[in-house]
Amino acid sequence: DSGVTQTPKHLITATGQRVTLRCSPRSGDLSVYWYQQSLDQGLQFLIQYYNGEERAKGNILERFSAQQFPDLHSELNLSSLELGDSALYFCASSLIQGGRSEQFFGPGTRLTVL
């Protein structure tokens, strides 16, 4: 158990819908990262927050957005869902935003878009 929690574990929805994925980082970690894992693309970085502020953006679609709240939990919002958005979404956390700091991953949310 990494100490990172994610809810829900599974999510099944229809095209065009909007969903919210939630992540709580390890106790004491200030930085949160979101990754998407699909069979053809592998594990892809989406976005990073550090202490409530956006720090780095990867291949995140405009239909996706995220935020980190004052209690440091983070939410990833996915809207106008398409079939191709079906994937595993992982949250990771680290103590600091870079440097010598390992990222610890949560168990993931499996999103299925029908």
Partner 1 sequence: EDQVTQSPEALRLQEGESSSLNCSYTVSGLRGLFWYRQDPGKGPEFLFTLYSAGEEKEKERLKATLTKKESFLHITAPKPEDSATYLCAVRAGGTSYGKLTFGQGTILTVHP
Please tell me whether residue 70 binds partner 1 under the rule CB under 8 A. no
Name beta bridge partners: 32: 49, 93
Binding range to partner 1, per CB under 8 A, among 16-24, 36-44, 64-72, 78-86 = 36-44
With the CA atoms of 49, 67, 42 and 18 taken in that order, what torsion angle do they form, in degrees rounded to the nearest 10? Answer: 180
Q: Which of 26, 45, 60, 67 binds partner 1 (CB under 8 A)?
A: 45
Q: Which of 55, 60, 79, 112 binds partner 1 (CB under 8 A)?
A: 55
Buried b (16+ CB within 10 A) or exposed e, 34-48: bbbeeeeeeeeebbb
> CB-wise, 56 or 79, nearer to partner 1?
56
Q: Which of 36, 68, 76, 90 binds partner 1 (CB under 8 A)?
A: 90
